[in-house]
Amino acid sequence: MVMAIISLLLSILLPALGRAREISKRTVCGSNLRSMAIAFSTYAQENDSWFPAKAHTTVASPRMDQMATVQDKAYNPPEKENEFGPNFAGMIRDILEKKATRFSTGDEDLTKRMDNGPPQYLSDPRVLLCPSDQWNNRPKSNNITDLWRTQAVTYYKQLPVTVGQEATAKKSYISYFYVSLWRNDDRPDWLMLADQSNRNDTTVRSFTQLGPEDNHGIRGMNIALLDTHVEWGSTRSGTNEDMQQLAGRYWGGIVQARPRYPSTQGSSRAVEVQTIE
């Protein structure tokens, strides 16, 4: 009888404890995104109002829609000022924190470390990972049967330098996607950062579907806006239909807005930005 009562109590308490743990992890995840958003905003204040973005290395005076096509690219090896590592990891490594990953401190002992100096904008690389995130899709892949394990980095220089290095490691170091090519005078309620799903998040209206293996399961995702505040985007089931309602909320104004730059070949502000993961 006692054992039956204990079993009953455990069956009631364990799911509640699991939900409490997830809510705690969701809060830490939101704090991570807030830290990243503030770091990106600080970068913009110090870089002519531009949030972190990769340059175009083959077109001298590119249109903004052309700039959007290279934000996830890798130019190998990223040894020069205008060459970068792949995807969002490359954006963090070679744009946001390039002083810590590219430039020598001049101290012989420090140059032997994995890191050439302290980060300039985002002090702790561990915020790149959501505490609930254990698996991620390969960049731009929808194959949820071939996922990569997540792994935190201690120094930004540990992030992959080349596509080949990324593919060999088969590890994911960042739990979030980023919409590149915003400026700090764009609309403050537009999307900047959010939880990745384990599907291709690089398309406009990129919220496609959530599954149990995603950062916070099927119930939603943390979303950071250009004003640096973070919202919880709640969903009922994580289905595509469900997620498209969320996409309409966060991508709708971007898709409907006219291009900011006169030379852009396209009818929407959305062609002037690019989501990378």
Helix (H, G, I), strand (E, B) or coil at 179: strand
Domain coverage including residue 113: 24-276
Q: How many domains does the chain have?
A: 1
Residue 97: predicted pLDDT: 95
Contact, 82 vs 70, CB < 8 A? no
**CA pair distance 255, 10, nearest whole angstrom:** 49
Residue 37 lies in a domain: yes
In-domain check, residue 16: no
Does residue 18 sit within a domain?
A: no
Percentage of the chain exceeding pLDDT 70: 84
Range 138-145 average pLDDT: 89
Give Rg (Cα) of the chain.
Answer: 20
Give the CB-side neighbour count of residue 97, counting CA atoms within 13 A.
Answer: 26
Both tokens assigned to 226: 């250009």
Report yes or no on 204 lying in a domain: yes
Q: Is residue 272 part of a domain?
A: yes
In tens, the pLDDT along 148-196 reads 999 999 999 999 999 999 999 999 999 999 999 999 999 999 999 999 9
pLDDT, tens digit (0-9, with 9 covering 90-100), for 234-269: 998 999 999 999 999 999 999 999 999 999 999 999
In a domain, 10, yes or no: no
In-domain check, residue 221: yes
> From residue 257, how far is each of 104, 254, 266 by CA, in Å?
43, 5, 11
pLDDT in tens, 191-226: 999 999 999 999 766 789 999 999 999 999 999 999
125/93 Cα distance (integer angstroms) = 10
pTM for the model stands at: 0.89
